[in-house]
């Protein structure tokens, strides 16, 4: 049987599950006073995707604290994000405990984001396995390459948008690497960096279709409109910084052997953990 590894963006699944129920103040607080709504939903997302895509191997990747090397590049990186809701906080560790109970390895590296771990592992694994990246984050589309696909979570459970290099080219007319340059122009309000003020997706795409890269655009800057030229020249330093911030690193110091990620759920251990957390109707609703 050929190998298919699913790299799970743990934070993306956890936050999506939390906010899906938190809007109605449904936190699933157990008898110990611990909320479990995010973990329950994360597991539901995970098992839905495992049923759909039948991976042979699964790895969960996580952020390891709020400060990363990107904060050294830009102090205000992600500084506009509020602290997670108090009902969310105890569920970070619980989520990793549940992954362990499912024999799914947790991978993270201090100073880097989960994205960088996913990028690095996808790069490592693509030679020996088909790689699927399960996330809700469109930034991951820059990781598309031969043998690497991105599965974006859509609303509800079991709904996905599956991306390959070819689909991205059909939709946007650009390559995965050009997505980094696109984001460099547009900036990212959720990550709190500006890009080039006044140049949005439409203009940035047009320029990238015409000139290929930021370097190609700068080499032909005299051919741009006066307004475009002025905006780029004014924010040139931020353009380069934004590209560096947007680029997912695929060479971080992690080397996790694929064979250690073989998906082998221990039903006894899983049942013990789910019952400890007081998940209701988990046999019917989760697996």
All domains of the chain, ordered by start, with CATH? Answer: 4-168+252-282 (3.40.50.1010), 174-246 (1.10.150.20)
pTM above 0.85, yes or no: yes
* Nearest alpha-carbon partner for 109 in 5, 255, 8, 258: 255
> How many CB atoms within 10 Å of residue 154?
11
Angle between helices 10-22 and 37-53 (to 10 degrees): 120
* Nearest alpha-carbon partner for 173 in 122, 210, 130: 210
The H or E element containing residue 15 is helix 10-22
CA 241 to chain centre: 21
Q: What are phi and psi of 152, to 5 degrees?
A: -90, 130
What does the pLDDT read at residue 265?
Answer: 85
Distance between CA atoms of residues 61 and 11, nearest Å:
8
Look-up of token digits 């380069």: 240
- Mean pLDDT for each consecutive 10-residue tract of the chain (287 residues)? 93 93 84 94 94 97 91 90 89 96 95 97 96 96 97 92 97 95 94 93 96 97 95 96 97 93 91 90 76
What does the pLDDT read at residue 89?
Answer: 92
What does the pLDDT read at residue 26?
Answer: 82
Angle between helices 201-211 and 176-186 (to 10 degrees): 130
What does the pLDDT read at residue 286?
Answer: 73
Distance between CA atoms of residues 28 and 182, nearest Å:
40
What does the pLDDT read at residue 1?
Answer: 55
Query: Which own/partner pairs from 171-178 qualify as long-range (CB within 8 Å, at least 24 positions apart)?
Result: 172/205, 173/205, 173/209, 174/205, 174/208, 174/209, 176/141, 176/142, 176/143, 176/144, 176/145, 177/142, 178/208, 178/212, 178/213
Q: How far is the CA of 7 from the CAs of 1, 132, 156, in angstroms?
A: 19, 6, 20
* Nearest alpha-carbon partner for 88 in 158, 28, 46: 28
Q: How many helices (H) and strands (E) does the chain have?
A: 13, 6
């Amino acid at each position: 049987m050929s190998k298919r590894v699913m790299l799970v963006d743990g934070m993306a699944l956890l936050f999506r599950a939390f906010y899906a129920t938190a809007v109605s103040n449904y936190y699933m607080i157990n008898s110990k006073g611990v909320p479990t709504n995010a973990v329950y939903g994360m597991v539901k997302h995970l098992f839905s995707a495992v049923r759909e895509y039948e991976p042979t191997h699964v790895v969960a990747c996580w952020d390891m604290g709020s400060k990363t090397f990107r904060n050294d590049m830009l102090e205000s990186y992600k500084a506009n994000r509020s602290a997670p809701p108090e009902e969310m906080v105890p569920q970070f560790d619980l989520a990793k405990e549940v992954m362990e109970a499912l024999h799914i390895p947790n991978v993270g590296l201090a100073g880097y984001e989960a994205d960088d771990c996913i990028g690095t592992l996808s790069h490592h694994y693509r030679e020996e396995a088909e790689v699927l990246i399960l996330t809700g984050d469109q930034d991951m589309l820059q990781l598309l390459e031969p043998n690497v696909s991105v599965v974006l979570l859509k609303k509800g459970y079991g709904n996905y948008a599956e991306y390959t290099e070819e689909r991205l080219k059909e939709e946007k007319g650009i390559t995965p690497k050009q997505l980094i340059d696109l984001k460099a122009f547009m900036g990212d309000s959720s990550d709190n960096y500006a890009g080039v003020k006044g140049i949005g997706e439409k203009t940035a795409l047009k320029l990238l279709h015409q000139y290929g890269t930021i370097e190609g655009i700068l080499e032909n800057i005299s051919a741009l409109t006066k307004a475009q030229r002025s905006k780029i020249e004014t924010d040139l330093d931020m353009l380069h910084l934004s590209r560096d911030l947007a680029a997912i690193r695929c060479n971080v110091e992690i080397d996790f052997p694929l064979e250690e990620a073989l998906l082998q759920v221990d039903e006894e251990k899983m049942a013990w953990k789910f019952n400890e957390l007081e998940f209701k109707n988990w046999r019917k609703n989760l697996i």
